[in-house]
Structures are given as C-alpha cells and as structure tokens.
Chain A
Amino acid sequence: MARPRSSLLERALGVFVAFALVLAGFLWAGRTLLPRSVEGVYLDSQRLGGLRTFERAIVPMDPARDDPAPKADWIRGQFAFCTDPLKDRKELSARTKRSNPCASTNAAEELACYITTINSRLADMSAEATANRDRGLTARHFVSVERWIEAIRDPQQPIACRTAVAAARQLAAGDGRLLSLLAWRDLTPKSVVASQFAPDQAVKVAGRILEQRNPWGGVPGCIYYGRPNGKMLFVTDRHETNRQACVAMRPAGANEKNVEGAKAPPESLDVILADLDNIRLPWRDLYRAYTEKPAAGSGPIRTASADAKRVAARTVRTGSRAQSTKSTPASTST
C-alpha cells in the first residue's frame, strides 16, 4: 500500500528545517571564505582622521586679526559645502544636556561652542608657559576655521563633516582635556620636530591616544625596588591599573602594607630596565611569544605548560629563575 502523502504542514516544516541547515551552511561558507586576523590593538581610523584635521587647523594666533570665538551663523556659512550638512536637533535629551555642556538644538551654535572651548583651553595652555616654561605653549594658539575646512576638504584625504564635528566635540570634551595629551611642537625636542612635524605644524595627533588594547591581552609586569623587609616600591604602567596584581605578586617576605606604587621612580630605572619591557608588557613581541600558543609548525618557544597563557619571570639580584604560572604577570624584583 502506498504511503499517504505527507501533509502541507509537514512539508512546510521540512522546508524550514532544510533551509535552516542551508542557512547555517551559507554562514559557515561565508566565514571560511572571508578569514580575518585578530589584531591586538583597536584604533578608530575615522576618528583619528577627524582629529588629525586639527593638525592643520591649530595655528599660532594673531590677536589683532584672529577671532577665538567664531559666531554660529558664520560657521554655518563655512560648512555649507558639506554633503552631510550640519543638522539641527528638535530637542535635547536630559542625558545629552548633562554630558555635553555645549549641546544645543542649533548645530552651528554647538560647533561654535566647541571651537570656543578649544580656543579657551589653548589660551590657558599658553598662560601656563608663564608659570612653567616646560609645560605651556610659548605662543597663544587657536583653531583657524578656514584652515580646518581646508583640511576637511583635502582631496587626498577628505573627511565627512559629521566626523570632523565629532572630532571637535572630542577635543572640547572636559574643557579640552585631550589637548594636553597631544604632541606640541613647542614641547617636543628639536630633533623629533625636524623629523615628525611639517614646517607650519603646531601639533601632532598620535594614534596612540585613541588606541584601545585588548583588555584580555595580558597584564603588564611590575618592577620592584627597595628592601623586602622595609619599604618596597613598584613601577608598572602609568595608570597602575594592575596595582592589585603588583601587591599580590610582591617579593617573598615583603609586607603587603609596605608595598606601594612609586609615584616618581628614579629616572635611571627606565634606562636600566628597558630591556625587561620586552617580556614585561603584554603588547611586546617577547611577552606574546611566551604567552601565545604558537601557530602550527611555527617556532618552539613555549611555556612550561601548554595551556599556560601567562608567564611570570621573576629576576632577583643573585641570579634568575623562571617560573610558569597561569594568569600572573611578568614581575621583576631588584
């Protein structure tokens, strides 16, 4: 007897299931055909491009000629060329108002506020030169909107107006806090200026200020100095983000209460221990060579345990001994 024809419902379900398998296969094929490497650093190239327009825009100011507080209407006119024009907003959320003091429903007004904030911070930075010759700018600088627009419209590397405005917002945030992190011609050694700066360039935006490292890429090691039975200081990365690990990994015999981060380590220490950075910092090659699993068929550098992802190399004055520990940073005591 012939099998009764399956119902429409069963046939539909069959098609759905078959298709789900096809979809999974399609996605798998896409993944296989488009392999992608995993990089250790994230850097928003668009954002960096936007910030770099200010390398051309920030110039020494001529108080007689230049206006550090441009008007909104004038700015709107200057940005008329944009393919993505400055868009006014209908209303501002409370959150936006809270987080952005320049926030306005009028986009040109908002941009004018950013530029004024940046200029105000630049004025403060030049004023600092009076108090501290090594930290302040010798001349007063400002944002030349005309030069900024030239940089935005540069045919070699055009930047969307939206991106440029976002860069202005970023520079103005926190009363222009980011400006002090940029590399200023006035504060850079002459040899570096000669090789890195264009003749009329006052500031350089290094990619490093926007770089974001893999938060699971490893922990920088700690360098200890002092006596284990007395005060013990450690040096690690600038923000001491691994402070807890440095205290926990203190040399044997050191009291936890006596271990603390060195606020001003001896200048010579950097030079003496510079070579250790290769094994101490997660983003250096030697650290990665020890901690990452080698690709099939590659070199034989391995940790003691195949599964160990981190290595701790503790060096003491009398000699050195290596020890492999999972999830501990490279630490060195001298």
Chain B
Amino acid sequence: VRGANDRYQKAVELRVALVPQAAGTGRVAEICARFSGWLPDAEREICPAETRTSATLRGEIDPSLIESFAAVQDALERSIAAPLKAQLPRVQALESRAREARAESDIQTLVDRLATETRAYREAYGIGLAGTQSVALECAWRYVSGRYHAQANAPEDYRVFALIGIAALLDGDARRAAIAVAPSGKANAWTRAEREAGCGSLGLPREAVVGAAEIVARARASEINAAKSQAAQDLFANAYWIYALWAATGLALLQIGRQASSARRFLPLAAIVWAFVGWLTHVHVEWVSDRAVHTSRLLSWGIRWPDFFQVAAAAAAILLLAGFVVHGARKPLERQTPSSRLAYAGFVLFVGLGWWLALDLSANGHAANRFHALYQQIYVFAAFVLLTMLAPLRLKLADRLSRGLGHFLLLARARGTSVLRYAVPWLIYGGTAVLVLAAAAVTHQKQTQFTSELFRLWLILGASWFFFIRGESALSLPAGGIKGALSALAFVSPLFFVLGVPVLGLMLTDDFGPLFVIIYAASIFVGTAFAFAFFDRAGYRPWLAGSVGVLVAGGWVYVMTFALYSLPAPLARIAERLASVRTPFSSTNDQMAIITWFQESAPAQGYGFGGVPWCGELAGATCRGVPKQIQSDYVFTALAGVYGKAAALALVALLALWLVRVVIHHGRASRGTVTAESPALTQQAWLSWIAVCWVGLTLAQLAITVAGNLGWLPLTGITFPFASFGAWSLLANTFFLALAMSLPRRA
C-alpha cells in the first residue's frame, strides 16, 4: 500500500536496544512499596494505588539504592548512544578522507547524508549534533540526583519524594516525574555547572526532567515499536500471498473435515497444518492488541511467534499419534456437504475486504492505528482456524448443547405442590438471568466488545431454542377466542425472557449500540413468534401468517424508532447521538458531519485502495480526517471512500444475499423439529434454527450500521459483520457461520 514504508521506517530507525541493566520498569512501585509510609497522605497519591494503602511501609533508605539507580541511568545512556557510536568510525573515516582529499566533494556529501540519517534519532533522544550522549537525559539525571544528595540530612519524606522522582525518570513515567520534581521556586533552577553543561537550553529543570522521562519512555517502547514496524512492513509486502495461503488451506481442511473422518485424527491434523501456516506467515500472536500489558502477559507465558507455533505443532503431532494408536469404539463424524457453494467464498471475500481496509488505514490513516492491520492478522488467522476446526464438530456441539438445555428445562419445570410449583421455575429462570448478567458485568470490566457478543450469543441460542422446541407445538394451540389468545401469549412469553436479559444487561452496561441492534432485531423474532402463535394453522390462508409476522415486526420497528426520536433520552450520550442525526453540523458529536463530508467528497468510482485521503486533503502533523474508529464503526463509509457509494451499497446487498444464501438450503435438509428418524437430523434441526436466527440478527445489524453511516439512524458503534476490525465480532460471526455452512450429507 502506498505510503506504508515511510510510516514504519522511522520507528525502525529509532530503535534502541536496551542493555540488560537498563531494562524493566516498576521502580516507582518498588520505592513506594518500601518507603511510602514516610510520605504524608496527600503526597502518597503519587504512588500506584496498590502500594499506597499502608502507612507502615517505612523501610530504611539504603545508600546503595541511589548507586543502583546511577547504574541504570548509565546503562540507559549507553544504550541510547550505542547506535550512534556504531556509526562513529565510519563518520570519522569519511571525515579524515574529506580532510585529506579536499577535491572529493562526494565524500562530504556522504558525511552530510550520514548526519541526515541520524538527525531523527538525535532529535528523538535529545542528542546534540556533536557527541553521542543524550544531553536531556544527562541534565535531568544531574538535577534529580543532585536534589537527592542535597537532601541527605532532610527528613525521610523529602528523600523518598526525591527518590520517586529519580525512579519515575528511569521508568519513563513523565507524569510522576513532573509531580515529584519541584514545581516552582528556587529549587526549580539549574546550578552553574549544569548551565555550563548546556542544560539551560532545555528550559526549566522540571521541563527537562519531564522531557527526559518521555525520552526514556520512547527508548523503552522503541524496541517493540521497531519490531512491530518491521513486521508491518513485511506484512504489506506479503499480505496477498499470506491471505491466499490461508484461504487455500482453509478450503482444503474444510473439505477434509466434511468427510466421515474421526475428530480425534482430524483436529490434530488441522492443528499441525495451521501451526505450520502460522509459523510460515509470521503470525505474531504476542501482539494481540495495542495494550502493552496484553503483550507482556503473553510473553511471560511464552506465547510468541515462532515458539507458539512450534509448540502447538509438536503437541498436535503427539495428539495425532495418540489418535492413531488409540482405537476407540466411537463412530466417525457424520459426512457433511456445504450448505452453499458460496458460503466459504463469501467468508474469504468479506473477511479479506475488512483486512485490506485495515491495511490501508494502518498505512495512511491515523498514526495511532498504524498497527491495526498487524493485530487484525491474528484475528483473521484465528477466524480461519475456528471455521475449519469447528465445521466438522458442529453436530456434536449441537448434541451437547441441546442435551444441556434439555436438562435445564427439566430442572426448571413446574413440579411439587402449592407454592413450590410456581416458585421453582421462577427461581431457576431468575437465577439464570442473574448469572448471565453477573458474567457480563465481569467481562465488561475488561472486554466491552466481548460482553455485547455474549448477549448476542444468548439471544441467538435462546431464540433458536424457542423456535426449535415450541415452533411445531404452536399448531396445537386452541384457535380463536380469549382462551386462544391467552394460550398464544403464554406460548410467546419465553421469547420475551430471552429478549429481556440482554436488553437489561446492555442497559446496565450502558452499551447503546448492541442494545439498539437487539431491540430492532427483536422485531423479527417477535413478529415470527406472533405469526406462529396466532395464524400459522389450519383454517387460515397460508400467506396470512407471514404477512402478520412482517406487519408485527414493522410495527415494532416503527414504535421503537418513534419512541427513540420522540421520548426524552434516558442518557446524555443517547441524546447526543440523536442530536448528531438531527443536526450533524452543529451537534456536540462531530463524527456524523465528518463521515458525511467524506462520503460526499469521494468520487463516484471511489479513490481506490492506497489512494484514499483518510486524513483530509491537507497534510499536517495530526490526522484531521475520518474518525479514529472508522475501521470498526464506519466500515461502510470506508468502503464508500475506496469504491464509491454505489459500489459500497452493492457490497452491502451482496453480503445480505450471501447470508441468506448460506441458510436458504437448510429448509431442504431439516424441518426444524425434533425427529425420531435420526439423531443427526434432530441436531441439524437445532443448528438450522441457530443459523436462521443468526442470519436474521446479522441482517438487522447490517441494516443499522449502514443506516447509521448514512445518517438515517444514530451512530451506534456497532460492527460491520465480518469486515470490521476487532476480534470478538469476527470470531462470533465465524462461530455461527461454521455452524451454518454445512449440512449432513444424508439430510
């Protein structure tokens, strides 16, 4: 992609290989853990929360501590100077040649070029044009260590505070360094020696310390940034064949998995193949997101490329051998056939399209998103693995799930006498709802996206289970009259329980986007359930039930939309989103205005990949163009930029048709009811309902995200199925696609 290399090359050039003595952070936490008891309550705020609780942490300040810090500072200086020192002999040789042979102007050009090459490095680490030491770091160290030594006879709290300043500088914690250094007054001035060393040009000491802490932070992050940038450059060069290899491998494994082979043999085989492909295509599993804490946790567990794939391949090989050695009495898996020839092709197309967008946005969009294509590489790879490994297991999974839910229904049925007869079902259903909400509350702390996918999973499984279990029994409901109406309402009531839990959960977690999807998608399920309960039986015309279903669903959507725009918004954020639809150019949220501008400015045929001015037409230090979350919430807008609005709408229609196409043949394979004919057919019936409900919900999601992008509905922060950046949405959709894309061959 055009421009990709410029963005990443700088990070590669700024790499600092820290020597072991300089590595690691956590010095502030260490000081606080040992000495924070000396600090007054107000000053203890500077410490990390987990180390400021106790006032008894009053260790004796060991003089060797400052020496160990001096060693760290020295190691940092050496690490930062090393790349320049490595070039020094070359520069000196060229300079002496230039002195000896004055006529050789080419040599001077070479010297100048070397200086230009190192300019960015010198600027980033505060190194002057002459020399290799970081003046900023040297001055900051002189100041903070000088302050500490000057307070040798001062009370402990002064010395601890000074030590925290030193530790913050060495950790690269600019915020704490700024607090720990004297904010004003005489203390915030350079000594004569420091001024003579050129420290005065760095501003006041406080500014210099903050700047130096930022330099240390930059140096500490540089290694991983350089590695990511290098990987991103490799990815841009090889993305085409990487994706082609994944797609071909996925197709081959899907075909093998659909044969009547043993899961015990197929799964290890697939794992070996994917481990080899992951190793070959450099899937850096350790960079699963832009949070350094995730990476460090994975690294501490030894999960990194290539080790992870080597271990996975070895483990899978052992399991495969065991699969050949152990001959169980189990039956092989049911032979399967694709539900549609386009199912896998559509998956490859839309997932690939999303990844290609991520690549373009990484190369040319917001700098903060420059590694998103790299992260998405892991998610896309995981989606291929999930799809191929789950597809052969789908009937078994349905069997286990349906048995579990069957047991649950038995447990929750009304039994006993008097009060218990009524109380037990309520308690069990209520308890289940509470458990689900509690699980959502826990996941919401760490992974908001996962919470919404959890509720989506609940809704799809719940609605499909409702239709699977209750659908056919609707035919036996009494028709007409009050008794019939009441029976029909009682028939529909479990669906409201299924819908109510995610609605409540998303309201509690203030997750407006998925709530919006569920409220709209509920219309489909409610409409269908009413059609079955009231009109889908003998005595009514065959088309009546369908028409009533569509009318009820349409009425539901109308009422919900009317309520959304007419009633006072319960939350300020919802009001803000609504205002941005009504008055996009004067509301508080500017995103609607920006994406409208972008869509309007895009040529009819689009800018094309690599040519989209994501950051606007004016070059600047900051990206003032499309919103940062374009790769997740505004994929339709991004597609309109790349291909033009008409083509983007055509892609949406194609996605909708593909989703319907994936499930349309399920009706031939199953009637969607429990049957005594074969267990596989019953399992398939349950799976077919899951597939149909997933498609219904996904169509609603697609409609809402497109409507939000076009300014017809509030922007809700929901994803574009299969194409949006992010792990959970892609993996959840892949999970359901894996269940939907195959059918038992016998069926």
Contacts and interface: CB of A to CB of B under 8 A. Distances in A.
Nearest to A31: B712
A212 B587 CA distance: 12
Interface string B542-574: 100110011001100110010000000000100
Contacts, number: 172
Interface in A15-58: 15-20, 22-24, 26-27, 30-31, 34, 36, 38-39, 41-47
A7 B597 contact: no
A5 B545 CA distance: 13
Given A15-B550, A42-B594, A9 B588 contact: no
A244 B594 CA distance: 24
B617 A218 contact: yes
A27 B685 CA distance: 33
B692 A16 contact: yes
Interface string B269-293: 0000000000000000000000000
Interface in B636-678: 656, 660, 663-664, 666-667, 670-673
Interface string A70-110: 00000000000000100000000010011000000000000
Interface stretch (B299-307, B315-323, B520-528): B520-528
B6 interface: no
Interface string B533-546: 00010000010011
Contact of B667 (A7, A20, A43): A7
Interface string B109-148: 0000000000000000000000000000000000000000
Given A15-B524, A216-B597, A243-B619, A44 B467 contact: no
Given A9-B689, A26-B554, A215 B587 contact: no
Given A30-B712, A42-B585, A12 B528 contact: yes
A27 B557 CA distance: 10
Interface stretch (B248-256, B448-456, B694-702): B694-702
B234 interface: no
B619 A44 contact: no
A6 B700 contact: no
Contacts of A13: 660, 663-664, 666-667, 692, 695
Nearest to A42: B593
A46 B618 contact: no
Contact of A16 (B587, B593, B620, B696): B696
A22 B593 CA distance: 28
A14 interface: yes
B713 A9 contact: no
A31 B710 contact: yes
Contact of B660 (A17, A38, A216, A239): A17
B403 interface: no
Interface residues of A, number: 55
B500 interface: no
Given A15-B550, A16-B692, A39 B585 contact: yes
B692 A46 contact: no
Contact of B467 (A12, A20, A36, A39): A12
Given A8-B673, A13-B664, A215 B597 contact: yes
A18 B596 CA distance: 30
Given A8-B672, A23-B700, A41-B585, A15 B527 contact: yes
A275 interface: no
Nearest to A163: B588
Interface string B574-617: 00000000011111101001101110110100000000010111
A46 B588 contact: yes
Given A9-B692, A16-B524, A215 B667 contact: no
Nearest to B688: A9
Given A11-B545, A24-B703, A214 B588 contact: no
30 contacts: A9-B471, A9-B670, A10-B667, A12-B528, A13-B660, A13-B663, A13-B667, A15-B524, A15-B531, A20-B656, A20-B700, A20-B703, A22-B550, A27-B713, A30-B713, A31-B711, A36-B711, A45-B583, A46-B587, A84-B572, A98-B174, A162-B572, A212-B593, A215-B616, A216-B597, A216-B625, A217-B601, A218-B617, A219-B618, A309-B603
Per CB-CB distance, the 10 closest pairs between chain A and chain B, nearest first, are: A215-B616, A9-B672, A216-B601, A10-B667, A7-B671, A15-B549, A241-B618, A16-B696, A42-B593, A39-B585
